[in-house]
Structure 1
Amino acid sequence: MFKSPDESRIQISELMLPSYTNFGGKIHGGYILSLMDQIAFACASKHSGSYCVTASVDKVNFLNPIEVGELVTMMASINYVGSSSMVVGIRVESENIRTGTKKHCNSSYFTMVAIDDNGQTTQVPGLKLETKIDAKRFIKAIKRRESEERKKEDLSLVYKNVNNYLDQLKDYRVVIDF
């Protein structure tokens, strides 16, 4: 069975309240992450027809602050599927509802895994790519996975052979005291 990204696409909007702020008066990043996790769950569960858990979150960059009184909209779609995993792409925008000004605040990718009633991973439907944007998102997910594997290998080498890399620290604000 195959499903298109449109079949599980989700969008939510929420007005940002003063109770969601951090000490700087902006909307707390943790609150936004919690909403993102919820929409990722909903999107992945809708695609898979199963309970889903968050396996990882790929890089969360907060691009613009979100203010009290702004309307935050999150859009989620399935960008990639494996056998039991799915990558959910999420875009976060805020809108000043008085002026209509919109800001892109964040984009991130959540890897979700489908779980059956016994707590075991379960197969998810394949993805029917209906547009070039769908194909681009799937390919970008493959490239991110490949890049992550290369990064793991590189970091493993540093950890195993740190002496080979110490000279790279000369341009940084550190003192080596060992």
Structure 2
Amino acid sequence: MEEKTCSKSLAVKTSHVLPPDTNAYKTLFGGKLMAHIDDVAAISAVRHARKNVVTASTDSVDFLEPVKEGDSICIEAFVTWTHKTSMEVFAKAVTEDLLTGERRVSATAFLTFVAVDENGRPIPVSPIVPETQMEKRLYEGAPKRAKARKERRKESKEFAEAFGTDYPWIEKP
């Protein structure tokens, strides 16, 4: 498969933060920000794979600064690393006070997507080639993050099996 650069997968979306998107503190709901991040990261993954993708995991969403009502929120995402069928995507959220022009990084996240065929089965993706120093830094750290993801997923499966579908505090007869 043809190698692709990180920049070819860049996706950017800017939205105005309106009252229905905010909580009692007049800041953006965390879940709303997570939805923006997943949306833009998925576009980035599709751009790289040129196939449909599914979200396999969200490693973390680190909320660094509040996003206030009336601000804008700009999500930037690009593919940082690929495996056989999966892609790691880094996303950054930048909030801007539109009246003063002050900009701050409000969140960062790593997500993993898997390219799928028409039947929802995983399919191979092109390798990624980092070009800039930051892209290389993210690329070099990806195997460590992938290992942590694999371990976390194993633990999640163990919890799912142990807890099952019933409430854990209800005793079975």
The TM-score bracket by the shorter chain reads: 0.7 to 0.9
Letter in 1 for 2:136: A
Q: CA RMSD in A?
A: 1.9
Letter in 2 for 1:29: G
Match of 2:23 in 1: 22
Shift of 1:151: 6.5
Match of 2:96 in 1: 95
Distance 2:102 2:148 in 1: 35
Asked which structure has the greater CA Rg, the reply is: 1
Match of 1:46 in 2: 47
| 1:36–1:150 CA distance, 2 compared to 1 (3 A) | closer
Letter in 2 for 1:143: K
Equivalent position SS for 1:59: strand
Q: CA-to-partner distance for each residue in 1:13-38, whole Å, 9 max, x for gaps?
A: 11110110113321111111111110
Equivalent position SS for 2:143: helix
Distance 1:121 1:2 in 2: 19
Checking the alignment, whether the CA contact within 8 Å between 2:94 and 2:103 is kept in structure 1 is: yes
Distance 1:152 1:78 in 2: 21
Distance 2:84 2:92 in 1: 24
Distance 1:78 1:8 in 2: 6
Checking the alignment, whether the CA contact within 8 Å between 2:54 and 2:116 is kept in structure 1 is: yes
| 1:66–1:137 CA distance, 2 compared to 1 (3 A) | same
List gaps (5 residues or longer) in structure 2.
160-173
Checking the alignment, whether the CA contact within 8 Å between 2:80 and 2:130 is kept in structure 1 is: no
What percent identity do the matched residue pairs reach?
27
- Matching of residue 130 in structure 1 with residue 128 in structure 2: no
TM normalised by structure 1 equals 0.81
TM normalised by structure 2 equals 0.83
List gaps (5 residues or longer) in structure 1.
160-178
Letter in 1 for 2:61: V
